[in-house]
Structure 1
Amino acid sequence: MKVSKNEILFIYDSSDMQQREGLAYIKSLKHYEVKELDVTKDEMTQLQLSNLATRLAVSDKELMRTDKESHFSEVMNLDGHDFLDYLASNLEMLKTPIAVYSDRAKFVDSQYELIKEDGVNSTSDVQTSRTMKQREEG
């Protein structure tokens, strides 16, 4: 799960309309190339899931959705390796969407938050009269 400095890996569930809309929003970001991982079509290994939990600063079990599983308590009683094996085999149970950057990852609460962050992290080429005046004086 290698993500370069100017990339975002967007992990999402394409069966969810809001998450598909989120992907469209993220693809519009100016400062990042977007890679996507669809939990309904793609695969992740146990090691990748474990690394993802580390990047998110959560336990492995916090990666799992709690709204879809009928035998949730049985799954949560599995030990670390067996739990990750279950999650890798049932990737649609991964809590999504997730944005993975080169140095961190985060659960995405709103598709708008990444656009807002992109604007904050960007450098503007627009010069205001104030910045032009400061350059003339400096």
Structure 2
Amino acid sequence: MKVSKNEILFIYDSSDMQQREGLAYAKSLRHYEVKELDVQNDSITQLQLSNLSEKLGVTAKELIRVDNESHFSEVMDLDGHDMLDYLTSNLKMLKTPIVVYYDHAKFIGSQYELMKEDGINSVSNVQTSRTMKQRKEE
């Protein structure tokens, strides 16, 4: 799960339409090359999950997606190592989407979040007619 400075790793669940849209937005970023990891089809090791939780600044238990409360309570009784073992075998339970940078990682709340960070939505140098009119008056 090595990520270079000009790359991001987008971890997502392809069964979720919004997360697939998030991947598409991530691939449109100007400043990063995007690698992807789909929890439906790919695998990840315990060590990679451990590194991921460190980069996110969360415990292994906080990596679990909370969908089914009864199942969740059984899983939450596991200790850190067993939790990582469980997640390795049940990667679909990983809370996604996650973006991994070379030095940190974060959970993504919106598919537009990455675009804002990349500066795509920042103010451009396009002059409006008002700006041009103000310059003529000066």
Contact 1:68 1:93 in 2 (8 A): no
Report the TM-score, using the length of structure 2 for normalisation.
0.85
The change in CA–CA distance for 1:69 and 1:4 in structure 2 (over 3 A counts) is farther
1:14-69 CA-to-partner distances (Å, cap 9, x unmatched) read 00000000000000001100000000000011111111000000111000001146
Alpha-carbon shift at residue 104 of structure 1 (Å): 0.6
| Aligned match of 2:5 | 5
| Aligned match of 1:34 | 34
- Runs of 4+ residues deviating >2 angstroms: none
The change in CA–CA distance for 1:57 and 1:47 in structure 2 (over 3 A counts) is same
- Taking only the aligned residue pairs, the percentage that are identical comes to 77
**Whole-angstrom CA distance in 1 between matches of 2:117 and 2:80:** 34
CA RMSD in angstroms, aligned pairs only: 1.8
Q: Does 1:89 align with 2:89?
A: yes
**Whole-angstrom CA distance in 2 between matches of 1:85 and 1:108:** 24
**Whole-angstrom CA distance in 1 between matches of 2:89 and 2:66:** 16
The change in CA–CA distance for 1:102 and 1:61 in structure 2 (over 3 A counts) is same
**Whole-angstrom CA distance in 1 between matches of 2:17 and 2:126:** 39
Give structure 1 stretches of 5+ with no counterpart.
Answer: 129-138
The change in CA–CA distance for 1:51 and 1:84 in structure 2 (over 3 A counts) is same
Letter matched to residue 21 of structure 1: E
| Aligned match of 1:135 | none
Q: How many residues align?
A: 125
1:95-119 CA-to-partner distances (Å, cap 9, x unmatched) read 0000000011000001111101001
Which aligned pairs between 1:1-138 and structure 2 lie closer than 5 A?
1-68=1-68, 70-119=70-119
| Local SS of the residue matching 2:31 | coil
| Aligned match of 1:132 | none
Give structure 2 stretches of 5+ with no counterpart.
Answer: 128-138
Report the TM-score, using the length of structure 1 for normalisation.
0.85
